[in-house]
A and B are shown apart, each in its own frame.
Chain A
Amino acid sequence: MTDAAEAEVSGRAERLARWTSGYRPHPDVPDAFMDASGRPREAWTRVLDRLGDLTEVDIAARFVSAVRHIRDTGISYRIYGDNREHAWPLGSLPFVVEADDWQALSAGIVERAELMEAILADIYGPNRLVADGLLPAAVVAGSPEFMRPVAGIVPPGGRFLKLYAADVTRGPDGQWQVLADRTQSPSGPGYALENRMVLTRAFPDLYTDLHVERLAPFFQTLRQALADGAQRSDPRICLLTSGPFSSTYVEQAVLARYLGLLLVEGDDLVMQDGALHVRTVSGLKRADALWRRIDSDYVDPLELNPASRLGVPGLLEALRNGNLVVGNMPGSGILESGALAAYLPGIARRLTGGELRLSGPRTFWCGDPDSLVHVRDHLDALTLRPVATPPKGEARDAIMGPLAFGADRDRLVAALRDRPFDYVAQERMPLATTPGWDRTGGTLRLVPRPFALRVFATITPDGWRVMPGGFCRISERPDLDPGEMRAGIKAADVWIMSNGPVEPVPLIQPGAQKVRRIAGHLPSRAADNLFWFGRYVERAEAVIRLAGAHLGGVGAAVNAYLVSDARSPTSLRIRALLDDWGAISNPNLSTATLAREALSGHGTYGSALRHSLSARANAAILRERLSGEAWRVLADLTDLLDIGDGRAYSEAELVGLVERGLGLMAALAGLAKENMIRTTGWHFVDLGRRIERVINTCTFATHFAGDAATADDLGVMLSLCDSHIAFGARYMQGAALDPVRDMVLLDPFNPRSVAFQIEAIGRHLANLPTLRADGLPEPHQRLAAKLAAEFSTGEAADFDEAAIARLGHDFERLADAIATRYFPNAPNALRPEKLVGLG
């Protein structure tokens, strides 16, 4: 052995010793790493053995690059009631489970999922459990998740549940225990997927070497489960989201993209002829299956919560007609009722003839007289909470923490007097622990941390299949409940260690998928967002260029079109236009302050920063349609422009900002041009950019190529249109009015001219779907053709200031006409409204 190798080995041994020597599980709390006798478990020994090959610096470096990937792809989450997005806090240590241990857990999960399906079919069907006294009628009727209009509906496809999840931990005896069943619409499978993608980036070889089970086959099964029962052979599957303000929107976008589902909001859907349809730019298209990620009560304002703006009026009718498959069925959330847990063991004995493999903490429904006596006698050892927790308007994914009722005993006793049946009590159970990094005292070591593990199962024709992995949350503080994502909680990838090598499995089996080139019909709302994404990007660019012209920086290399003399007429015109656009708060600011505001102002609604933030907000809604690179460039752009209120910036620094900003703009345009598939979506992005560009160019021309334009004005005009180099090459002497107008308005070879844009606009419109069967042009197409003719036949002399202004208005009308035709929220679009009835 060489000296270096020897040093490495001893470094490794020393490292491992440093990490684990101080590891002490809490007494009476089971731990994933060490068993009750303090011996390390086999699986963790294998993991640490491999991790120990890496130095701490190595681990950190690999992990940093993975974390950068998180930022670049925009994985984030929201805390309920908080509008900000938080970067996804993934920890570098996995949660590890041995194969045999996992087998036991899986068998219990399958059994439980079967039981859940049977109970749902009974609750919304014959009600035998209630009639036989196995389930109190009050537990069903008292649940706000009991959806009465669903009673009697046989779910198309025969299943209430497509995806079941359970939050599990280890009980004091080390056995797996179920803390909560998730049947409403379990969140987390997308996070499990993302965690895996990130960590495989950081430690690619570990997965193969350690025989970690793969997740891909599970998701393939899940997709089949969602489609199962649909009437058509190649069903359109939609993921119904409550929108970007949902705390798990990003997860939903990830799942939609990974599984090839259409991400839709209630407004995108409409009932027609007894079936559900998606509003697309090609008209209404049938929706066959729905993955419901909004709470049951909100899916149909006609039969359920009339205040809902998230659902589709008539959706239950489609279910009654058998024309729609929904996973999970509305009403499935009733099984999350805390009171049900008290009756599960009895129901299981009746239905399966045996005891449940997985138990949970003992639960007491206070509507039962004997249970109430027990609860009153043992209040201090129990957690009491209302059966019906108030709905939050969002798929509930938190494990409910103990309510601090203990402090106020009088209130508790009063609550139990009038309506004890509104309360459920549960034995407290300490959360089991798993290793996490701790850096206190400067050295990195492992410490036991509380975790919550969510496991998932989906249904196949051969029964339930459990995801060999899961979504784990680890608390960085012993007193913090890891049930909900928030500060101090980290996510962890879940490794199931197979006993033998794991076959690599592609997501799609060969031959299982038809080849096709069109991704499907673009939903109208997505088209709207893509169009505005394009417009905001272009709008930001126009402001950056104008700020650059104001600084005299852009085009300065060509000639001295310097207009930084704040009192020159050209400079005053630039200030006036920036003021018009709302980019600055006051046209009389100093040159540097004014440029800074136009570029980076938070308070000025027309600043480049605000437009790029708007573009980013649109992009956020389009996450499933936008590449990671585009997202990163957008993030870079907002980061670049957001210089805050700190130190003063010199004019030269601001010029640098403008140049870098324009560079990123070019990168974004390049990405769209070179990397985006030419589907309908791309046409809308480019259409938005080009329409915005013609409108801005016409505005520029009325200001800087007007009838009385000076040489300085014309110079600015050329720099705003990035055309000074081409102009210089074509005309040796200085700028004159007609040649400039020809170059920026009419020249079909100049990619910045209006004529060039309108040609592109015409091509886009020709490629978009038409609603007319008679081949006649639609109104927006006629308007575009008329404008194109005017530009292709006109001469520079025809385009005086008044004519340019008129054309600018025409282009705005064209933008409106496109919106009216394709987008759901256009000013003239018909909006659904509630009828108000009277008593």
Chain B
Amino acid sequence: MIYTLRHLTTYRYARPVHFARCGLRLRLTDDEGQTVLASTLTISPEPRHRTERRDHFGLDVTSIIIDTPHTELRVEALSRVRVERPSMPAPETGPAWERIRDEALRSRSLAPDAPIHYLFPSPRVSLVPDVTDYARSSFPSGRSALGGAYDLMQRIRRDFRFDAKATSVRTPLEEAFALRAGVCQDFAHIMIAGLRGLGIPSAYVSGYLRTIPPAGQPRLRGADASHAWVSVWCGDGWIGLDPTNGIAMCDDHIVVARGRDYTDVSPIDGIVSSSGAQKLKVEVDVIPDGEPMPEATVTVEAERV
């Protein structure tokens, strides 16, 4: 499947911003089963300074400095990407989780995708005994790591309520866990905390999910949104699991970035010099090849999935 992706972020400021220094993680990178065909990043106002570097997790970071006074900052990422993933191995196959844990611990690599980076607490994923105990019941002794992780994913899908009002982008995972509610970010963090609590390396993946418009209706512009799921280390590679939808990563998932948690992959991070309030708007379109660009516009104010 080939997709055209559009990710438009707009910040509006009550008073002019004179200086902004940002790091952008919006460029897609090649991944297993995913090839980036084209990718552009358009920023307005034009940055005075723009550099590209690859961060420790192998992500492309665009660092920009804007020093023209502005009341609106627009960042538009446009990409074309081909996604053809191998299907996931059957859940109850592969090595036992205890073996995965011990081998990960003995590994001798600090490379960006080395499992060892994803074994420890990270800024947004603290290890919570209650969450570890919740995960434990999916991992009886000797069960395959993949089987246990798949089961944990399905339990989260069952036990947790999707509710964008229940949490915010800053809610700690303990709170979302206690509420048994939240959005994709919360579910991913909770699942990661449970897996790591047992010693199984797991990563946070940010990206997009293709949505199917209701039958007979056209695709609305900006109706899609960014998404997050989990990547679990299964001994000889990473397997994507989406606890929000209770499914394995498939050709509908498009990967933007993989990191220890949300902080490592947050799409726009930065500092602006301003004395007023700011308003944020995000529009995302995921358009499969052959479908026309949508015409009508939906404005989604700070929505999260």
Contacts and interface: CB of A to CB of B under 8 A. Distances in A.
A349 to B, nearest CB: 18
B123 interface: yes
A141 B116 contact: yes
Interface in B8-49: 9, 11, 18-23
Nearest to B120: A142
A151 to B, nearest CB: 6
Interface in A795-839: 828, 830-839
A830 B16 CA distance: 10
Interface in A456-490: none
A750 B9 CA distance: 64
Interface string B194-219: 00011100000010000000000000
Interface in A121-167: 127, 130-133, 136-138, 140-142, 148-149, 151-152
Given A302-B21, A839-B228, A313 B271 contact: yes
Nearest to A838: B282
Given A138-B119, A830-B274, A835-B278, A302 B269 contact: yes
Contacts of A306: 263, 269
A418 B108 contact: no
B169 interface: yes
B55 interface: yes
Nearest to A123: B110
A830 B67 CA distance: 13
B269 A419 contact: no
A302 B23 contact: yes
B274 A131 contact: no
A317 interface: yes
Contacts of A830: 18-19, 273-275
B250 interface: no
B271 A137 contact: no
A367 interface: yes
A360 interface: no
Contacts of A421: 105, 119, 199
B223 interface: no
A735 to B, nearest CB: 49
A367 B169 CA distance: 34
Determine which residue in A127, A130, A317, A418 has the highest number of CB atoms from chain B within 10 A of its CB, and name it. Answer: A418
A548 interface: no
A271 interface: yes
A126 to B, nearest CB: 10
A839 B262 contact: yes
Contacts of B269: 302, 306, 835, 837
Given A302-B23, A421-B105, A837 B266 contact: yes
B271 A301 contact: yes
A301 B19 CA distance: 16
A388 B23 CA distance: 28
A820 B275 CA distance: 14
Contacts of B275: 828, 830-831
Contact of B273 (A130, A831, A836): A831
Contacts of A828: 275
B226 interface: yes
Nearest to A369: B102
Interface residues of B, number: 54
B56 A151 contact: yes
A223 to B, nearest CB: 32
Interface string A42-58: 00000000000000000
A313 B273 CA distance: 12
B228 A833 contact: no
A367 B102 CA distance: 9
A148 B282 contact: no
Name A's interface SS.
loop
A833 B107 CA distance: 41
Contacts of A127: 109-110
A369 B120 CA distance: 18
A831 B263 CA distance: 23
Contacts of A74: none
A835 B11 contact: yes
Contact of A419 (B21, B185, B197): B197
Contact of B267 (A140, A419, A837): A837
Contacts of A152: 56
A436 interface: no
A639 B156 CA distance: 63
Given A839-B169, A839-B266, A141 B110 contact: yes
A314 B199 contact: no
A835 B109 contact: no
Interface string A247-273: 000000000000000000000000100
A595 B38 CA distance: 79
A418 B199 contact: yes
Contacts of B267: 837-839
A792 interface: no
B166 interface: no
B110 A832 contact: no
Contacts of A130: 108-110
B169 A832 contact: no
A303 interface: yes
Nearest to B122: A144
A838 B282 CA distance: 8
Contacts of B280: 836, 838
B263 A835 contact: no
A305 interface: yes
A137 B268 contact: no
B116 A302 contact: no
Interface string A261-303: 0000000000100000000000000000000000000000111
B274 A833 contact: yes
B304 interface: yes
A364 B159 CA distance: 41
A334 B54 CA distance: 23
B152 to A, nearest CB: 15
Contact of B108 (A131, A369, A837, A838): A131
B270 interface: yes
B226 A839 contact: yes
Given A388-B121, A836-B278, A837-B268, 10 more contacts: A131-B109, A137-B108, A141-B119, A305-B123, A306-B263, A369-B102, A828-B275, A838-B169, A839-B206, A839-B267
18 contacts: A133-B108, A137-B107, A137-B110, A137-B116, A140-B110, A148-B56, A148-B57, A149-B55, A151-B56, A302-B269, A313-B21, A369-B102, A418-B197, A419-B127, A828-B275, A838-B226, A839-B206, A839-B228
4 closest A-B pairs by CB: A148-B56, A830-B273, A837-B268, A141-B116
